[in-house]
Amino acid sequence: MRTTLTGILASAALAIGATAAAAQDFPTRSITIVVPYSPGSTDTMARTLANEMSNELGQPVVVETRPGAGGTVGGASVASADPDGYTLLFAVSSVQTVAPHQRDLPYGFDDLAPVARVAVGPNMMAARTGAPFTTIEELVAYAKENPGDVSYGSAGTGGATHIAAEAFARAAGVELFHIPFNGVTPAVAATVAGEVDLVLGFASAILPQDEGGKLVALAQLSSERTEVAPDVPTLIESGVDLALPPNTGLWAPAGTPDDVIATLAAAVEKAAGSDTFQSFAKSGLTAVDYAGSEAFTEVLKTENAFFAELLPTLKME
């Protein structure tokens, strides 16, 4: 028995040593970043970041899009991947903090390990030109006097813009009328055409229309004004106690060694701070806001608890 136990312990020690050595040598081959959405602005951001990460890590960093079910198809594929740092997720945090509260999924909050945050949106709310309000204060007052008359367009039922609008309605104490669209672009187009009163979306979708006089930007949903929209107030400044910044970042499968996550986070920090990525973010009206693994984890824990309490109270129709 003693000989057998000694052999088991020796094998375990060798296995632990091999794992530690592998973590120290990381990476020794290409890394795949999964983007769980259709090709568009998010995967372009991921590819720009991946090129800079490759320069830092000395190995190819490739990007694959695996869209479906609001990002959860790609999220599930990364959650179930080997926890070795060679398969990562690049997404908006709702894949981890919202979707698992909405339906049964093959993964939960604890199945993804935050590597680093890259950006915080911002998301914005805008009104059609000619609407009977041009500020959040005026919108809230009008909506209280006319419950259910103010309409808003979302990118789809149950999605991030739908949740944000209903969270706003709850925080402001008003009732809004929801009109879902198949994406932000048609929702913005309908608002520009005057068919919808309000629309929510990333600054890249809202600000150009505001600057062109086709929409009126009312607020950004970040906790503070971002550099890409310094003249647009936050909801909090406008008297509505709500901040829902869309945290975009990288995740690894749970169980990925800390040393590997630290190596990846350091590469992300340098990549996000590079001139190439900063220039891309500026042109795309994206607010870069790097946070390392520990800080990002705390942000996500708070966000997860917020949505766990919020979602059951919302009118999601």
Does 3.40.190.10 match the CATH number of domain 123-220? yes
* Range list for CATH 3.40.190.150 in the chain: 31-120+247-313
Stretch 203-229: mean pLDDT? 95
Q: Does position 5 have pLDDT exceeding 60, yes or no?
A: no
Which H or E run contains 232? Answer: none
Phi/psi at 273 (5° precision): -90, 0
Q: Does position 7 have pLDDT exceeding 60, yes or no?
A: no
**Which is it for the CA torsion 82, 292, 283, 197, positive or negative?**
positive
pLDDT digits (tens, 9 = 90+) for 44-76: 999 999 999 999 999 999 999 999 888 999 999
Q: Does position 83 have pLDDT exceeding 50, yes or no?
A: yes
Phi and psi based region of residue 88 (left: phi greater than 0; alpha: psi -120 to 50; beta: remaining): beta
Polymer length of the chain: 317
pLDDT of residue 18: 46
Instruction: Give the span between the Cα atoms of 38 and 70, in whole angstroms.
Output: 10
Q: Does position 309 have pLDDT exceeding 80, yes or no?
A: yes
Q: Does position 78 have pLDDT exceeding 60, yes or no?
A: yes
pLDDT of residue 22: 52
Q: Does position 82 have pLDDT exceeding 90, yes or no?
A: yes
256 contacts: CB under 8 Å, gap ≥ 6: 83, 84, 85, 113
Q: How many CA atoms lie within 13 A of 20 on its CB side?
A: 6
The pTM of the full predicted model, rounded to 2 decimals, is 0.86
Stretch 237-255: mean pLDDT? 96
pLDDT of residue 38: 84
Question: Between the CA of residue 246 and those of 88, 96, 118, 120, what are the distances in Å?
Answer: 19, 12, 11, 5
pLDDT of residue 15: 47
Which H or E run contains 42? Answer: helix 41-57
- What topology is assigned to 31-120+247-313 in CATH? D-Maltodextrin-Binding Protein; domain 2 (3.40.190)
Stretch 271-277: mean pLDDT? 98
pLDDT of residue 178: 96
pLDDT grade for 41, boundaries at 50, 70 and 90: confident
Indicate the average pLDDT of the chain.
92
* Range list for CATH 3.40.190.10 in the chain: 123-220
Q: Which of 15-24, 178-187, 211-220, 286-295 has the lowest mean pLDDT?
A: 15-24
